[in-house]
């Protein structure tokens, strides 16, 4: 019997690519059954491109500078299609994608966001949690829709806000959990356990009533 082809993934990044590195490490160790087909960036100087090249992954730069959003997204979509991805990962990609491009990859585009969505959509989440006097923060992985950070949430990890935390302190604690949660959700997708059906997250063919809570061990093993 022929071996089932691996899930082909393409990551979109804009910066240093720390989540990308966690993904590449998972692929290299064999714990993440995904083929990283390419890493694309809108920034030629993005550090994550170096990480990808060092791992032997193809890279492309699709710059947004000096062009319309329509032109940028048309080239981005064409470049994505070149690699025929089963899964598109937003991993620190600092551009808001339009409805047409998102619809093209409906149900196979994921994003990771540093908050317990639907709270604190957008930027500067760590500072905003502290300013609001929050006692809990976290990270969410969700399917991408045209609504910024508004797609159906798949899984979350909670992180305590400690006394005297600064935004940088909180960012470090949250990022550590990002590196654990994103590869786990990717694995579920690659194994065929995760799907988006009519804007409803389904896991093992059953709709999720709420996001899966990750506390350190895979809550869906067994």
> Annotated active-site positions, please?
113
Helix (H) or strand (E) holding 143, with range, is strand 136-143
Instruction: For 63-104, list the strands marked E by DSSP.
Output: 87-90
Q: Using CA atoms, how far apart are residues 22 and 168, in angstroms rounded to an integer?
A: 20
Question: How is residue 1 written in tokens?
Answer: 């019997």
Longest dimension (CA), the chain: 58
State the Cα torsion 150-152-157-159 to the nearest 10°: 20
Q: How far is CA 197 from CA 10, 44, 149, 182, in A?
A: 22, 36, 18, 20
Q: Using CA atoms, how far apart are residues 80 and 39, in angstroms rounded to an integer?
A: 9
Q: Is 112 exposed, middle or buried (0-12, 13-18, 19+ CB in 10 A)?
A: buried
Note the residue count of the chain. 222
Q: Which residues pair with 110 in a beta bridge?
A: 89, 143
Cα 133–Cα 178–Cα 57 angle in degrees, nearest 5: 150
């Amino acid at each position: 019997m022929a071996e089932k082809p691996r899930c082909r993934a393409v990551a979109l990044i804009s910066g240093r690519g720390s989540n990308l590195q966690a993904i590449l490490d998972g692929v290299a160790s064999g714990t993440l059954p995904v083929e990283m087909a390419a890493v694309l960036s809108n920034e030629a100087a993005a550090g994550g491109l170096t990480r990808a090249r060092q791992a032997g992954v193809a890279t492309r730069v699709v710059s947004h500078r000096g062009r319309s959003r329509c032109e940028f997204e048309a080239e981005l979509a064409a470049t994505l299609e070149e690699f025929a991805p089963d899964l598109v990962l937003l991993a620190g990609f600092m551009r808001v994608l339009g409805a047409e491009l998102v619809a093209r990859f409906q149900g196979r585009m994921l994003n990771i966001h540093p908050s317990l969505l639907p709270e604190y959509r957008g930027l500067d989440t760590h500072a905003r949690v502290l300013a609001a006097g929050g006692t809990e923060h976290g990270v969410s992985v969700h399917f991408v829709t045209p609504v910024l950070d508004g797609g159906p949430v798949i899984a979350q990890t909670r992180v305590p806000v400690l006394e005297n935390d600064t935004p940088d302190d909180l960012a470090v604690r949250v990022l550590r959990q990002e590196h654990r949660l994103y590869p786990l959700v990717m694995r579920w997708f690659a194994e065929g356990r995760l799907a988006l059906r009519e804007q409803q997250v389904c896991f093992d063919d059953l709709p999720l009533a709420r996001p899966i809570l990750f506390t350190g061990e895979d809550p869906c093993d067994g």
